[in-house]
Amino acid sequence: MAESKNMTRREAVKVAGAATIATMAASGPLIRTAKAADGVKYGMIGTGSRGTYLLKHLKSIDSGQCVAICDITDDALDKAQQTIGGSPKRYKDWRELLADKNVDAVFVTTPLFLHFPATKDALEAGKHVFCEKSLVFKPEEVHALRELVEARPKQILQTGLQRRYSEMYQAVRNMIEKGLLGEVTYVQAQWHRNPGWKMKDVPNVPKRMANWRLFREYSGGLVAELASHQIDVADWMMGMTPEAVTGLGSHDFMKDGRDILDNIQLIYKYPKGRRLVWTGVPGTSHWAGVGGARTEMGEIICGTQGTVHITIGDDNNMPIGMWFREPNPPKVETAKKDKKEKYVAGATMVAAAGSRPLPILLSKDLMTGKESFLEKEMKFARLWLYQKGILVPEEPKNPVDTELEAFFNYCKNGGRPKADLEVGLADSAAVILSNIALDEGRMVQFNEIDKMGLPAGATAKPAVKHG
């Protein structure tokens, strides 16, 4: 936190204290309770980088209990066991894990090309499934997974799109619903890495498999691994899915035997003239959003009345967002029957003056009237810091924890995940079609997916639209 020129020492001390207390209050007491005996008993299939990361978070979530892990390598199983502790059963074949009656739910955290086969087997074995994004790999899997899940309404299928569980992202969605950004017509998103993914050596694992995300046989490349999160954000914020996609993709920089594209620009055409532009390039990590305070990835959501910059962050940098009111917004017209306004055509003036960023307030910042004296002081201090531009509201909790807790809750009590089957399938369809657009150098219509991967003459089941 930088100290403002105008801030007195007394204020700074008070504010620093308040911010510290606020952080502590937001993250809750550091007391761990014993795992609930009726917690959801889960297994994890694919305990590599993401699987182990989720286990690190799952360790402190009491509503779930790890009873089984599965991977093809001992090394991955050892790391997973060390991370979660206890004595989960170890499997090398997921079918054996799925035959284990003690397992209620599974996490599918394998490479992308195995998401569908593992999820299919898990659903057929009667388990609830949390499958990482991108949900499926091939067009035929979009249709097949819809049939499988719809035939099993009591089983949960959640996709690992954690932004849907972020309070900051939800606050922005609420702002859009309330009209604070006006008409959202344009989203700009990037995921730039410097350098990009490196080719690695893993003992006892064939090189192509150890580096599966670099090979088209197993992976959807940057679009599946990175853009998938942000296409979903654009769909969610605009409340619609794209009609078509086109772009430019090439393999220019990372020449180490990989066959995925490493330099990608995509344009998505949504209804009513809206657009998403996504870029994924290596060799730079700067992001112009949130005043350049974060790198790599983020989304800029532009509306006629305002713009939001937002990014998810990582374990050490929680989601943050900034809101800029449009300096010269068009008047919001209300129907006036008698008075006809006169419009004069002509060149518009350049509007160079911007607006100061405004905080996106979260529940911890809002006054409820029930605060103690100290809590009220803390909230005033935080708002004061936000106004001065010294502190930016940060989400107190990692959305990954929220999505995992939510999954166990759905398993126990039912309900529809925020990142449900249709959210996951729309996202996967977008990934598949974007890669076709890049490979074939053409504009691909989104309804092309309806005919892909089906026998001649067959029609796809339509997506189920939820309210």
Ligand X SMILES: NC(=O)c1ccc[n+]([C@@H]2O[C@H](COP(=O)([O-])OP(=O)(O)OC[C@H]3O[C@@H](n4cnc5c(N)ncnc54)[C@H](O)[C@@H]3O)[C@@H](O)[C@H]2O)c1
Q: List interacting residues with ligand X (CB under 6 A).
A: 45-51, 70-73, 76, 94, 109-112, 114, 132-133, 160, 162, 212, 225
CA distance 61 to 406: 11
In the complex, what is the shortest distance from the CB of residue 65 to ligand X, in angstroms, rounded to a whole number?
A: 20
Comparing CB distances to ligand X, the nearer of 119 and 241 is 119
Determine the residue with CB nearest ligand X. 48
Three-state DSSP at 320 gives strand
Q: Which residues on adjacent β-strands are paired with residue 89?
A: 68
In the complex, what is the shortest distance from the CB of residue 68 to ligand X, in angstroms, rounded to a whole number?
A: 12
Comparing CB distances to ligand X, the nearer of 107 and 408 is 107
In the complex, what is the shortest distance from the CB of residue 46 to ligand X, in angstroms, rounded to a whole number?
A: 3
- Helix (H) or strand (E) holding 431, with range, is helix 421-440
Distance between the two ends of the chain, CA-based, in angstroms? 42
In the complex, what is the shortest distance from the CB of residue 72 to ligand X, in angstroms, rounded to a whole number?
A: 5
In the complex, what is the shortest distance from the CB of residue 205 to ligand X, in angstroms, rounded to a whole number?
A: 7
Q: What are the C-alpha distances in Å from 180 to residues 121, 160, 308, 403, 422? A: 45, 29, 10, 27, 27
Comparing CB distances to ligand X, the nearer of 112 and 449 is 112
Comparing CB distances to ligand X, the nearer of 156 and 184 is 156
CA distance 277 to 187: 6
Strand order in the sheet with 320-325: 358-359, 320-325, 306-311, 297-303, 184-191, 275-280, 263-269, 244-250, 444-445
Comparing CB distances to ligand X, the nearer of 47 and 81 is 47
What token pair was written down for 328? 């010269």
Name the DSSP class of 227.
Answer: I
Answer for the pair 308, 175: CB distance below 8 angstroms, yes or no. Answer: yes
Comparing CB distances to ligand X, the nearer of 55 and 381 is 55
In the complex, what is the shortest distance from the CB of residue 229 to ligand X, in angstroms, rounded to a whole number?
A: 7
What token pair was written down for 103? 């397992």
Comparing CB distances to ligand X, the nearer of 93 and 252 is 93
Backbone angles phi and psi of 196, in degrees to 5? -80, -170
In the complex, what is the shortest distance from the CB of residue 132 to ligand X, in angstroms, rounded to a whole number?
A: 4
Comparing CB distances to ligand X, the nearer of 36 and 205 is 205
Strand order in the sheet with 105-108: 89-91, 64-70, 40-45, 105-108, 128-132, 157-160
Comparing CB distances to ligand X, the nearer of 3 and 93 is 93
CA distance 453 to 467: 28
In the complex, what is the shortest distance from the CB of residue 305 to ligand X, in angstroms, rounded to a whole number?
A: 31
Q: How many C-beta neighbours within 10 Å does residue 60 have?
A: 12
In the complex, what is the shortest distance from the CB of residue 444 to ligand X, in angstroms, rounded to a whole number?
A: 22
